[in-house]
Amino acid sequence: METTNNTSRKRYIVTYVDQNADFARAEQILHVQPGTIKDGVSLLESDKPLTAKDVLHFDGLGSSSVVLSETEAKNLRRDDQVLAVEEDLEVHALGVEDLLSVPSAPASNGGTQYYDLNDSNVYDGQLGLDGPTPQPVTNAPDQGFQAGYQQALTDTYSRMLGQLNAIFGVAPAAAGPVPSPVPVRPIIPVRPILPPLTPPIFQQPIPWNIAMVKAPQAWPRTRGRGIKVAVLDTGIASHPDLIISGGASFVPGVTSYHDGHGHGTHCAGIIGARNNFLGVVGVAPQCNVYAVKVLNDAGSGQLSWILAGMAWARQNGMQVVSMSLGSNSGPVVAYTIAVQQLLAMGCVVVAAAGNNGPAGTVGAPANSPGVIAVGAVDQHRVIAPFSSRGGTGNQVTISAPGVSVNSTHLSNGYRSMSGTSMACPHVAGAAALVRMRYPTWTPAQITRRLVTTASDLGFPGNDTTYGAGLLNCDAATM
């Protein structure tokens, strides 16, 4: 939040009863001079810093951002044209980099498990660990994944050499030269005419988390081609495993949506990393990913920045919005109205439930009506200790992998991270799969399909810990 000379004045979000209130109407309600209010999306998207004098309006969301004194805020709350006056909350990314490299799934050698898409067989990628015990690592990419991928390449080349030996008839070398008792006339070899060699087929390794939600089984039906998914986060960095279709920055004074933190890039990879025979692959590898930078490179932001990102998503026809961010507050009216506006134009809204553990409830914006609130489970389908639980009128909708998830990161690398932030993009990717499969469905219908096809976990039926259960992309796209 910008600094002001008067510490008693704060920036607030004013939400109007009339959700279609335009600039002129907002000026009347806020009692400001005509022409004073600026378009919130345009100003925050520019390189101009946000000052205490700036009054912003988010057209289409029915809310404005303005600096007020406590008295002015109280007076506005009494106005029957105003639905709510809320402080411009601080919002944070809900994921952290893992300090331990752990096996991604049980494997015979204590390594990371990957899956062969062609024949569904499993091969073990060596982690280089002494058994399954986790070992400390630095901020380098996940070595288990790299070793597993390298082993796959080695196996491929070994098979190629075997094929060459069979074609040329090359026998293994003898232990030593065998002396000939009589002189032998030299034999001039004749080069055989050989059929063209079949080039090797490199296969994309499938990380454990993508396999767990059964995304590969859904790909013969849908890969989310062309579905527009907005990642409201720290931005997205360029990466050979990602295609960024566009985006914008709503961090004041920052015009680039480049990610200097890594969180947004990680989430983007879970949603839509390409099936390109390297690195990782996302749940919906053919969707169009958009970088909407609403958190700074320290991983934090303001409610007003998030609202600007949501307004941008609405204006640009996004079909899925993924928000791996939040605060510990109760329901926020400004979020509720913004979500309603997105749902009304056909956009599915997915958010991380929060990392507050068993004692914490689902935070904002995941606690807004209509949002798919996502909890996190580990490799064994057990709820993560940090994952927020639901409560009365404040529920977890569904669960997805969120512990030691390997995905794209900064400097063209990969990194393992944990949090409900990592669970959220799995469901956003699944929403893209369902949206492509059933293009006429409403957000409510897509949500219902994801919920009713989830694999039950915990107590039978829907519960406050797991929601409907584990995301199942295969069943959801049937």
The residues that are catalytic are 233, 263, 421
Helix (H, G, I), strand (E, B) or coil at 243: coil
Phi-psi region of 396 (alpha: psi -120 to 50; beta: other; left: phi over 0): beta
Pairing mode, strands 82-87 and 10-16: antiparallel
Dist CA 268 CA 266 (whole Å): 5
∠ CA 5-8-12, rounded to 5°: 100
CA-to-CA dists, residue 181 to 114, 174, 178, 192, 337, angstroms: 56, 18, 10, 30, 97
Alpha helices in 345-401 (DSSP H): none
Residue 399 φ then ψ, to 5°: -120, 155
CA dihedral 105, 111, 113, 118 (to 10 degrees): -170
Residue 288 pairs with which residues in a beta bridge? 228
Place of tokens 């490199």: 202
Place of tokens 């890969």: 223
Pairing mode, strands 56-58 and 38-39: parallel
Dist CA 76 CA 83 (whole Å): 9
Say if CB 254 and CB 293 are below 8 A apart. yes
Structure tokens, 90: 């601080």
Residue 88 φ then ψ, to 5°: -75, 90
**CA-closest candidate to residue 338, choices 367, 369, 364, 307:** 307
Dist CA 307 CA 313 (whole Å): 10
Dist CA 214 CA 102 (whole Å): 21
Helix (H, G, I), strand (E, B) or coil at 286: coil
Dist CA 303 CA 187 (whole Å): 83
Helix (H, G, I), strand (E, B) or coil at 280: coil
Q: How many CB atoms lie within 10 A of CB 381?
A: 15
Q: What kind and span of H or E run contains 232?
A: strand 228-233
